[in-house]
Amino acid sequence: MKKQLIVSISGLRGIYGEGLDLEVVIRFAAGFALLHNKLKNNLVIGRDGRSTGRILSRAMASLLQAMGWQVIDVRLVTTPTIAMAVPYYQAVGGIMITASHNPPEWNGIKFLNGSGEFISAEDWGLIEAWVGSEEDIPYTSYDKVGDYNRVKDALTHHIEAILALPYIHKDTIRARNFKIVVDGANSVGSIAIPALLEALGVFPERIVKIHDSMSGNFERPGEPLEAHLEKLREVVVQEDANLGLAVDPDGDRLALVDNNGVYVNEELTQVIAADFLWGFRSGPFVTNLSSSMAIDTVAQKYGMKVYRSSVGELNVVQKMKAVGAILGGEGNGGVILPEVHYGRDSLVGTALLLQHLANQEISLAQLRGSLPQYVMIKEKMALGSADVGAILARLAAKYAHENISTEDGLRVTREDSWVHIRASNTEPILRIYGEAKSKVLAEDLVGSFKDFISRKGAKAQRGC
């Protein structure tokens, strides 16, 4: 397989035609199906708006039928919607065809177990081992070929589960008469978020959509970062809207723009959700090592505990279950509410946000101003041929006298700042995140670590 094919706990990703092709995805789908070979029943399949998604979906659906599985195709859905669909349709697993925030030429697969949660690292290992073997795909006989069913109610079920939460009150939200701009990233969020807003009581004529075609060609980069949301910020101001909502192509991440057209750091999405939920529930919160310390500050206000895990939704979920967390998430805009399901969910994040604003009778700008103010810098470095393990070991030795964690790369935590260095799960890069009370301090912090890595990386490549 070619270098662009990346396999991690976050799924399989690659550039279509340059490592990711029909042969590859069919082998992986077969390997996933064989994990459940003695439980043959339903498997759910869905996809985001990428132009190659239909090709991969048809191929995998045909493969699964040929192996004797009953295929339930939920078609164009968000990742959290398919996570809800798996147990709803009593399936033994699910396949989401997406490359998340990667560019449109990329695609990939996320596998879910019967609970609608990402499969474990151990299961990924079994799949990879089978894919790399020379075993033939075990097709079934003519009389045992599986059925194929396309269904339409997966999103409806997802929304109904959110509306059923005891602290979500659509009448209160409707009374605020919100005007909301939705940036759907030219993918499935363009369908899911407006549908949720209407169900929550937002009037259809008060929902303004941008980047809402399903062309498969993203008009902005997939990650809902400030630099990518210029149009959303402009339209919020032009429309005199109360807020703007932006998602990534598979709809599990949520970023916000306030009523003044100011980007609300995606790091604050989970903080806002926690600030709301702790008003109704007591219990710990789990986030990853690369997420803002703002969550710790808000937790102190409520007397709650924050735990941290390695980066990756699977890792956060495992820690949530271990500590009995009532809420969790990742600083990339992901909110995980176990009362709905164990997975990042932009629809859940949207509902909690609107209810919070409605209950407090404040604007998003006012809410943003009430939250802890930190500045985070997110940098990337190409890995090249550098020995990342050796570089991280040198860093750990250098800062051994400080508060460090080596659970996932290296995190150095100080009283009012931190830096986290780790290899990406989804791209061939090194991620360097740092946070402090000002941009200058954050840039200096990240810059010092980048300089160290550049020097040590250069020495490693020279064989020093």
Residues 287 and 414 in one domain: no
Strand-strand pairing, 403-405 and 11-15: unpaired
Residues 411 and 346 in one domain: no
181 strand-pairing partners:
208, 244
| pLDDT at residue 318 greater than cutoff 50 | yes
At residue 461 the predicted structure's pLDDT band, cuts being 50, 70 and 90, is very low
pLDDT of residue 217: 82
Average confidence (pLDDT) over 438-456: 90
Does the pTM exceed 0.85? Answer: yes
Where among 117, 152, 187 does a domain terminate?
152
* Span of 71-75, 149-153, 264-268, 286-290 with lowest mean pLDDT: 264-268
Residue 265 in tokens: 């750091």
Residues 175 and 247 in one domain: yes
Average confidence (pLDDT) over 390-400: 91
305 within some domain: yes
Residues 148 and 238 in one domain: no
Residues 135 and 253 in one domain: no
| pLDDT at residue 134 greater than cutoff 90 | no
242 within some domain: yes
Considering only CA atoms, which of 160, 34, 174, 154 is closest in space to residue 87? 154
Higher-pLDDT residue of 37 and 72 is 72
Considering only CA atoms, which of 128, 96, 134, 137 is closest in space to residue 113? 96
Query: Which amino acid, one-letter code, is at 18?
Result: E
Residues 130 and 190 in one domain: no
Residues 338 and 198 in one domain: yes
Where among 337, 370, 403 does a domain terminate?
370
1 within some domain: no
At residue 464 the predicted structure's pLDDT band, cuts being 50, 70 and 90, is very low
Average confidence (pLDDT) over 119-128: 94
Residues 437 and 305 in one domain: no
Average confidence (pLDDT) over 308-329: 96
Cβ–Cβ under 8 Å, residues 138 and 38: no
C-alpha triplet 156, 113, 79: angle, nearest 5°: 40
At residue 3 the predicted structure's pLDDT band, cuts being 50, 70 and 90, is low
At residue 44 the predicted structure's pLDDT band, cuts being 50, 70 and 90, is very high
C-alpha triplet 163, 169, 174: angle, nearest 5°: 105
Considering only CA atoms, which of 238, 242, 233 is closest in space to residue 203? 242
With pLDDT > 90 as the criterion, what percentage of the chain qualifies?
Answer: 86
Cβ–Cβ under 8 Å, residues 48 and 108: no
CATH classification of the domain holding 175: 3.40.120.10
Residues 68 and 187 in one domain: no
- The number of domains in the chain is 3
- Which residues are known to be catalytic? 100
Q: Count CB atoms within 10 A of the CB of residue 3.
A: 10
Structural domain boundaries, residue 381 = 375-461
Residues 78 and 189 in one domain: no
Mean pLDDT score of the chain: 93
Residues 343 and 230 in one domain: yes
At residue 462 the predicted structure's pLDDT band, cuts being 50, 70 and 90, is very low
pLDDT of residue 362: 98
What does the pLDDT look like over 225-273, one tens digit per residue? 999 999 999 999 999 999 999 999 999 999 999 999 999 988 999 999 9
pLDDT of residue 463: 33
Residues 359 and 442 in one domain: no
CA distance 284 to 272: 15
